[in-house]
Amino acid sequence: MTSSLVRGSQFDRCPLTGTISVPGDKSLSHRVALFAALANGSSQVSGLLDSFDVRATLAAVESLGAHVELVSDPSGLSGTIAGPITSRSEESFGVHEPLQIDCGNSGTTTRLLLGLLSGRQLNVTLTGDESLSRRPMRRVTEPLSEMGASFSPMDHLPITVEGSASLRAIDYHSPIASAQVKSAILLAGISAQGTTSFSEPQKSRDHTELLLPAFGVAVRVDGLKVSIEGGQELRPSDCAVPGDPSSAAFLLVAAALLPHSQVTITNLSLNPTRTGFMAVLRRMGVSIEIKINERGTLGQELTGDVTVSWRDNLKATTVTADEIPSLIDEVPILALLATAASGNTRFEGVGELRVKESDRLSAIFEGLSVLGCHAVVDGDDLIVSQGPPTHSESTFSEPIHGEPTHSGPAHGGIVLSARGDHRLAMTWIVAARAFALDIEVPDIDCCGVSYPGFITDLLSLSGQ
For the segment 417-430, what is each residue's pLDDT rounded down to a tens digit? 899 899 999 999 99
The domains located in the chain, with CATH, are: 5-23+242-461 (3.65.10.10), 26-240 (3.65.10.10)
DSSP assignment of 254-284 equals HHHHSTT-EEEEEEEE--TTT-HHHHHHHHT
Name residues whose C-beta falls within 8 Å of residue 402's C-beta, 6 or more positions apart in sequence.
Answer: none
Name residues whose C-beta falls within 8 Å of residue 304's C-beta, 6 or more positions apart in sequence.
Answer: 267, 268, 270, 290, 291, 292, 293
Name the pLDDT band for 75 (thresholds 50, 70, 90): confident
339: left (phi over 0), alpha (psi -120 to 50) or beta: alpha
Distance CA 294, CA 300 (A): 11
DSSP assignment of 220-257 equals EEETTEEEEETT-------EE--B-HHHHHHHHHHHHH
Instruction: Read off the pLDDT of residues 284-302 as tens digits, 9 standing for 90 and up.
Output: 999 999 999 876 557 788 8
Of the given ranges (27-31, 49-53, 186-190), which has the lowest mean pLDDT? Answer: 49-53
DSSP assignment of 404-441 equals PP-BPPSTTSEE---TT-HHHHHHHHHHHHHTT-EEE-
Task: Supply the mean pLDDT for the chain.
Answer: 89
Q: Which of 50, 53, 329, 359 is catalytic?
A: 329
Dihedral sign, CA of 117, 119, 124, 126? positive
Active site residue 312: no
How are the residues of the chain apportioned to helix, strand and coil, as percentages rounded to the nearest 5? 35, 25, 40
Q: Record the pTM.
A: 0.84
